[in-house]
Structure 1
């Protein structure tokens, strides 16, 4: 599919583009597309671990042309139906992937910007890592009134970005606490759909967890229904609530682990006040730590099913 990125409003936007700026634009688009796809498949946009070659190949975007009329870059990329499915044309797994086959890396980029600019609590595919990549797009702008327009020859609604939009994304990103080290002790619930996602029943309620790429599913499967201590990084929502834990290590539980185990929140004073107001309206403490869960399919299982 063909997309156009139009740079207009700056003196340099005259059918040319400086190589350093082009490189940053290319890197930003690629990073956003990669994070947007990974968050749909795994629940987290960027994480250390093994690189997935199929995802890397699926987000390839090619510069096909550079035209005048401001500066217009013509890009080409394939749908995920063509890049993630096998040569036999297998259909995607239902659920969160029912709309993904007809999407492309560029549509995910556009969707990520729209969700961040017009942010609403609830189901969305954003986290702090992806918001940081969206925020870095500000380096593309040379002047305050310059705009960047992304379109698909009229087949989808165009996206027009200005520096003020990136400022809104920056405020949203800054409202999310940084991931922090955390220790949790609880009972591992049995999984129904995935080998890399777990649910842990703690004294404060159920907590969502994602296994690091460095952990094999069988390392935790023997603990299903039993007590377990995990450590990793807690990831948060903009309101300060815990979204999920990216699990890096697992241990046999001990008294020390139980003492240090916590589902703490790193909140601003304003966020604490808002949380207390919500508690008065709803005494269900489980709502304070359960975040939106993008989906339940394990990425390796999904990709294997598409072959």
Structure 2
């Protein structure tokens, strides 16, 4: 009797148990897959406003401008295809070259000066202690100032006759230049004016400085390093990621400069008294072609040329940064 029962029983006695375990694992797998699908749908639901906004306000207009760049369109009449004519005209229009050179010169002047001044202010704030929160807010508040107001501020501060800057220089016996009429001083004056909004870069640098480990400074001091050596070999490498980020962002911003220059030199009642050529930045000229001369197709081609210029400069910066930018955990 016992031998018969033993013979008919599955070996090891695990048949039903294994089947139950397999069924339970299958149910768990199905539940997890269903949970992941619900989570994915919820994630897409949360980001759907951004997706809709990106498609309608960014990707859509970009594709429309790309199509318009191959047409002759004035915003009112019928659209007429012209092929590559707009792009050929870009290389024949002297104003395109001069405005692009003005923009590049402004960028070369502004970005290094802004980064150096922001770093100096951030290092000062890092030594203030508890009061750094107050000063951080003070430095950041000008960022909220409308760019149109900054353009008007340029006219008030840098007026050659009654401007505050020239009055201060005159107090030291230094004759101030004609910032708004002398083409050699237009871009330096605009650069100094845009430094009004360096607070965002200061805040980024301050956060980067506070993330530098103190033990690195202690080790450098034990090795006999002075302040300059510690700054060069400890501070700069540790915050190189923040420096690279602000370099890229401020370069892109400078290449797209419009508000301050247009307000100061092209949007005033007495705009004809100023030197327009020195302040004719690329986006200003693009705006004129699009909304003053109604050459929307040509302006679209100009916008894609600017996109290409920014892309090339950014790729060069990213390539060069591989030698100088240090990231935590980098084993190079």
Asked whether the two chains share a fold, i.e. TM above 0.5, the reply is no
Relative CO higher for 1 or 2, CA cutoff 8 Å, sep ≥ 6?
Answer: 2
* Bigger helix fraction: 2
State the structure with more CA Rg: 2
